[in-house]
Amino acid sequence: MNVKLINHLSLGMVLVAVGSSQAGAETPPAAPLPATGWVQYGLGYVSDSSYGFGRYNGLEDEGIYPVLSFETELRPGRPDYLRASGRNLGLDSRSLSVKYGHQGLFSTFLRYDQLPHLKTDSAFTPFAGVGGEVLTDSGALQPLSLETERKRLAAGFSYLLQPQWKVNLMVRQERKDGNDWIGGAIRDGGGGGGGGMAIGQVDSVLMPEPIDQTTTDFNASVEYNGERSQWRLGMQGSFFDNEYSYLRWENPNSTYPAWPAGDGQLALAPDNQFLQLALSGSHLLTDTTRVTGLLSAGLMQQDEAFLPYTINGVSPALPRSSLDGEVYVYAAQLGLSARPMSRLRVNARYRYDERDNQTPQADYDYIILDSGITSPTTVTNQPLSYRKHKLTLDANYRFSSDWRGLLGYEFLDSERDFSDVEQNREHTLKGTLKWHARRDLDAALRLSGSTREASDYQAEDPNQNPLLRKYYLADRDRRQGGVMLTYSPATTLTIGLSADLLDDDYPDSALGLTEASGRIFNVDVAYQPVSDIQLHAFYSRDQMESQQRGSNNEVGDVYDWTADFDDTVDTVGLGAEFTGLWPRWDVGVDYLYSQGRGDISQATLPAAALAPYPTVENDLHRLQLSAAYHWSKTTQVRLAAIYEHLDATDWAVDGVPVVLPGGGSSLLLGNDSEDYDVVAFMVAIRHRF
Amino acid sequence: MVWMSGRGAWRALLGLLVVGFATAVAAAPPAGEGFVGSDVCAECHKEKFQQILPSRHGQTADARTPFAQAGCETCHGAGEAHSLSEGKERGGMIVFGDRSGVAPEDQNGQCLSCHQDTNRMHWQGSPHEAEDLVCSSCHRVHQPDGVLKKATEADVCSSCHWQVRADMHKASAHPIRNGQITCSDCHSPHGAAGPSSLKALTVNQSCYTCHAEKRGPFLWEHEPVTDGCSNCHTPHGSNNPALLVRRPPQLCQQCHQLQGAGQGRAHINQVKELTLGQPNNHERFTLGGSCLNCHSQVHGSNHPSGAALQR
């Protein structure tokens, strides 16, 4: 090599060495990177039409469907980036996301999501005008599908004003449309004027509720992220708009001739608005002590014009034209987290929540349904408010490298207006013991107990049985416990076991919910015998039981009937992934079985067991096979097959006709549970670039 | 000798570019005592080195990133002792992972030295911190991070939250298993001011994000609704319709038992048998929507005559 060239290269190396030692924040921008990512396209096939199978995924129709998904990232000029992804673009469950930014300076995003929700396609309705706010008697039962779809578009940006200051803005709008069901009560013509009306004179019809709702949200904030302090001041807003303010229907006499002619009307969800300002922050007092805080104030408003009392006859004058509803919501929180010793962590948190309902009160006539019959008594609306104080204290202590314990206490004080109980106080004590028994074995034991006391129980409704206690207000003793074991005999094998128990007792509740309990058991196994094989299996059992008491007697007496609930769900999962085990092939198989059982049994006193409700059953089997053939370094052929079988039985709908026998008086939907047996295939090409 | 002629200057520049290019791709040189530089790390950890360079952490033009500072050693610590021992000794370097032997607060402290911002200001004292989780329990830095993708986030969370994995397959569930709703749509895994680490300040505010039609305020309110949606619903999955904790009519009868005759109130108190065609005609109180066949406005009514939540 030329001596001069060597000398010059050596000089170059010296210069590089000097230059490198001064690099860091002044590193020049790197060269642009080509786009990376993948695109997947192909076709799929669904063997049968089923609302149940396609409930959320957009695959409800038999036939061929397009497969199109992608992910890509471009770095046109690092640190600039452009990321885009799309999923299920050929289906109604599609989503598309684009993000562009300059890393360290700003980021922007645009996102679109579509979410179908299919409920049933086996229902019937006697109405014409489905999808609108006025339903008329069609003269015969018509097939009815109930489904809604949400379309959501969101956009936003974040901008780093200076290294520690950032502003953020997000705006989102969602439109939800379709049909759901709603019950309408009908007076069947009995009784006279003066307001008396027996329940036998009230019938009902399940109707298609038109859904055309738009929710617009925004969230704007400014943040400070310093070395020791972080603060955020944010404003959020949410505006709900309902295209339909009422649903009016013509009594479907053609299906149920006993009903009188006439119309009924009910109010649909009114437009409402919500604004909230929140200031939250955190400060590191010392290297081991942090304080956090929150202050927020919000306002929920609703001022939609009232409907008339009745559309039958002359409607009495309303006390006001609209609600002018205003509910102020406040929250304040102060927290302290500290590590006074290397082995000890302590946390303390105080939280205050308030719902201050400033909605005006007025006396409203009570028109029984749309009968034109006015009850002799007026009803005054009750603007519900509450104030809640919560104090949480806990200490986490490391006894040794193998033992750690936690002791915690929580106090919750709730005050309510217009409630059966003015004040609840709940004390909770909890403890956890963790043991790192061996290098391959960890165990944990959790116990907690709480006692909730209610102040004098004074029912707001003078007609309420004085022995009844509403479970969310009543005295309650709660005991919880759980154990967890994690065993890893090898780095390739982990076995986890957990069992949790919950017992709630309502000692002062002569009527209402008296007991509730939960038993949850989980086993989880993950095994990777070789790097190319991953196996997993899990089992979960979840059993919830509860007992309640009621009184047929209506006269402040002891209970004379009971009802017991038992909901048990067993879930089993098995799966295996084989990567490169066979030349060029990756294969996966996944099986899941979920079995749900719900039982209700009732008895009257003296002991007389009633026929139990039929068991609600929900058996879901899903088998998923997937394979990828590596055609080349950048191209894969991907295959997938899903078999899903759902066998559902629900006594509330299965075999229940539209017109109930034995006296009728209600028109239901006549739909059945969404059983299905569906196979779906997919063949696609995935290009990686 | 002419130290730098015109042609020589160009050749020196060429030399500089040739050698400089090789080191420009690597991280910044050692930042202090005991630091060896990322190119030393890359000699043995080539795959991890190549994986991180195109990622966000590898963007040298962003002064905040590890590779705009001391490279691998920004996060893992000085590597001299580890290098000199040819990998046999850790030498005080930080290895990330549940079983790395490095204390969780030390591992997390490394990540939080850059990522301590308003999204993580509630980390201390959070449920995950109390469980001694480390950032790498959920996150991957050298590989694609599954928890940051909507389609795979729930898989990461349910690797520990086994019960939610079972819940999402129950008869009534949010579309979590299809990836259309993810855990972080409601929860903040790094801790939050809301209950159960909810991003929103209350349970109801979290639900109203998607169910704003229930927000009201209504003329006639239903107290268990305003008190908390979780009085009647369970968010992850239920054996009962509409994510209810129990089914009507019994669910409603747990709070509604009247006294005094007349006005048809017996229909509330009576035990509801399920026998079709019986004279007492209970099927309309149990079948279909049960109580909601008539009392459909269970979340509140804005009708002036809607006090019974029927209109």
| Averaged confidence pLDDT in chain A | 90
Of A19, A282, A306, which is closest to B20 when you measure between CB atoms?
A19
pLDDT tens column, B291-310: 999 999 999 999 999 999 99
pLDDT for res A616: 96
Residue A21: both structure tokens together: 């030692």
Q: Which strand (E) or helix (H) includes residue A591?
A: strand A585-604
Per-residue pLDDT band for A523 (boundaries 50, 70, 90) equals very high
Instruction: For residue A563, give the nearest of B151, B231, B250 by CB distance.
Output: B250
Q: What is the pLDDT of residue A583?
A: 87
Share of chain A above pLDDT 70, in %: 91
Sign of the alpha-carbon dihedral angle for A651, A656, A662, A668: positive
What is the rounded CA–CA span in Å between residue A677 and residue A675? 7
- Rounded CA-CA distance A525/A538 in Å is 6
Q: Which two tokens stand for residue A385?
A: 């408010």
**Residues on chain B touching A565 (C-beta within 8 angstroms):** 246-247, 250
Residue A517 confidence (pLDDT) above 90: yes
Q: Which tops the pLDDT comparison, A662 or A533?
A: A533
pLDDT given at position A162 = 82
Task: Give the one of A33, A301, A542 whose C-beta lies nearest to B54's C-beta.
Answer: A33
Q: Can you tell me the ipTM of this complex?
A: 0.91
Q: What number is the average pLDDT over the span A90-109?
A: 95
CA atoms within 13 A on the CB side of B32: 6
Mean pLDDT of A272-279: 98
Number of neighbouring beta carbons within 10 Å of residue B36: 21
Whether the CB of A391 is below 8 Å from some CB of chain B: the reply is no
Which residues of chain A from 327 to 346 reach within 8 Å of chain B, CB to CB? 327, 329, 331, 333, 335, 337, 339, 345
How far apart (Å, rounded) are the C-alpha atoms in residues A235 and A30?
38
Q: Which of A469, A547, A453, A471 is nearest to A510 (CA)?
A: A469
| Among B59, B125, B228, beta carbon nearest to A335 | B125
Choose among A413, A411, A422: nearest CA to A385: A422
CB spacing of A513 vs B254 below 8 angstroms: yes
- CB-facing half-sphere around the CA of B25: CA atoms within 13 A: 14
Q: Dihedral of the CA atoms A664, A670, A675, A680 (nearest 10)?
A: 180
> Does any CB of chain B come closer than 8 Å to the CB of residue A64?
no
Chain B contact present for A405, CB below 8 A: no
The crossing angle, in degrees rounded to 10, of helices A3-21 and B6-24 is 50
Question: Higher-confidence residue: A75 or A417?
Answer: A417
Alpha helices in A235-378 (DSSP H): none
Residues 6+ away with beta carbon under 8 Å from B150:
A95, B179, B182
Question: Which of B69, B125, B302 is facing A304, going by the closest CB pair?
Answer: B302
Cβ–Cβ contact A640 with B under 8 A: no
Residue B128 pLDDT exceeds 50: yes
C-beta atoms surrounding B50 within 10 Å: 12
Contact call for B150 and A95, based on CB within 8 A: yes
* Res A666 pLDDT > 70: yes
List chain B residues with CB under 8 Å of A75.
Answer: 54
Shortest Cα–Cα distance, B203 to chain A (Å): 12
* Contact state of B288 with A652 under an 8 Å Cβ cutoff: yes
A115–B180 C-beta distance less than 8 A = yes
Cβ distance A618 to B239 less than 8 Å, yes or no, reads yes
When mean pLDDT is compared across A75-79, A645-649, B228-232, the lowest value belongs to A75-79
| A596-A602-A608-A614 Cα dihedral, nearest 10 degrees | -40
Confidence grade of residue B99 (pLDDT, cut at 50, 70, 90): confident
Say whether A326 and B284 touch across the interface (CB within 8 A): no
Identify the band that residue A663 occupies on the pLDDT scale cut at 50, 70 and 90: low
Residue whose token pair is 């005609």: B281
Mean pLDDT of B29-38: 76
Of A16, A230, A404, the CB nearest to B19: A16
A52 CB burial (10 A radius; 0-12, 13-18, 19+): buried
Tokens of A475: 């005295």
Tell me what pLDDT residue A10 has: 39
- The H or E element that residue A65 is part of is strand A63-75
CA A434 from chain centre, in angstroms, equals 31
User: What is the pLDDT at residue A189?
Assistant: 58
Q: Is A89 exposed, middle or buried (0-12, 13-18, 19+ CB in 10 A)?
A: middle
Q: What is the mean pLDDT of chain B?
A: 86
| Tens digit of each residue's pLDDT (9 = 90 or more) over B148-196 | 988 899 999 999 999 999 999 999 999 998 888 999 999 999 999 999 9
Cross-chain CB nearest to B16 (options A16, A242, A561): A16
- For residue B4, give the chain A residue with the closest CA: A8
3-state helix, strand, coil in chain A (%, to 5): 5, 65, 30
Q: What is the pLDDT, as a whole number, of residue A664?
A: 57
In chain B, the residue whose alpha carbon lies closest to the alpha carbon of A521 is B163
How close is the nearest chain A Cα to the Cα of B244, in Å? 12
Residues in chain A: 689
In chain A, the residue whose alpha carbon lies closest to the alpha carbon of B304 is A309
Lowest mean pLDDT among A78-82, A233-237, B1-5, B295-299: B1-5
- Closest-CA residue to A176 (of A196, A151, A195, A197): A151
Exposure string over B66-100, b if 16+ CB within 10 A, otherwise e: bbbbbbbbbbbbbbbebbeeeeeebbebbebeeee
Q: Helices (DSSP H) in B193-277: which residue ranges? A: 203-208, 223-227, 250-253, 266-269
Give chain B positions within 8 Å (CB) of A24: 28, 31, 68-69
CA distance B305 to A365: 7
Contacts of B276 in chain A (CB under 8 A): 660-662
The answer, for A520 touching chain B at a CB cutoff of 8 Å, is yes
Interface check for A242 against chain B (CB to CB < 8 A): the answer is yes
Choose among B54, B215, B284: nearest Cβ to A300: B215
Within 10 Å of residue B248's Cβ, how many Cβ atoms? 24
pLDDT band at residue A187 under the 50/70/90 scheme: confident
Q: Which residues of B touch A653 (CB under 8 A)?
A: 287-288
Which residues on B lie below 8 Å from A278 (Cβ)? Answer: 201
Predicted structure pTM score: 0.90
- CB-CB neighbors (< 8 A) of A555 in chain B: 259-260
Residue of B nearest to A21 (CA): B29
Tell if the CB–CB gap between A95 and B13 is shorter than 8 Å. Answer: no
pLDDT tens by residue, A167-185: 999 999 999 999 999 999 8
- What residues of chain A lie within 8 A of the CB of B167, using their CB? 542
Q: Specify the residue for token string 């139990």.
A: A612
C-beta atoms of A5 and B305 within 8 A: no
pLDDT number for residue A372: 66
pLDDT of B216: 92
Residue A595 touches partner B, C-beta closer than 8 Å: no
CB contact under 8 A, B202 and A331: yes
Q: A–B: how many Cβ contacts below 8 A?
A: 463
Task: Pinpoint the alpha helices (H) of B92-142.
Answer: 104-115, 127-130
pLDDT at residue A462, rounded to an integer: 85
Residue among B68, B126, B113, B239 nearest A29 (CA) = B68
A300·B217 Cβ contact <8 A: yes
Q: How confident is the model at residue A313 (pLDDT cuts 50, 70, 90)?
A: confident
CA gap A325, A270 in Å, rounded: 11
DSSP annotation string for A508-551: T-SBEEEEEEEEEEEEEEEE-SSTTEEEEEEEEEEEEEEEEEE-
Q: What is the pLDDT of residues A141-164, one digit of tens each?
A: 999 999 999 999 999 999 999 889
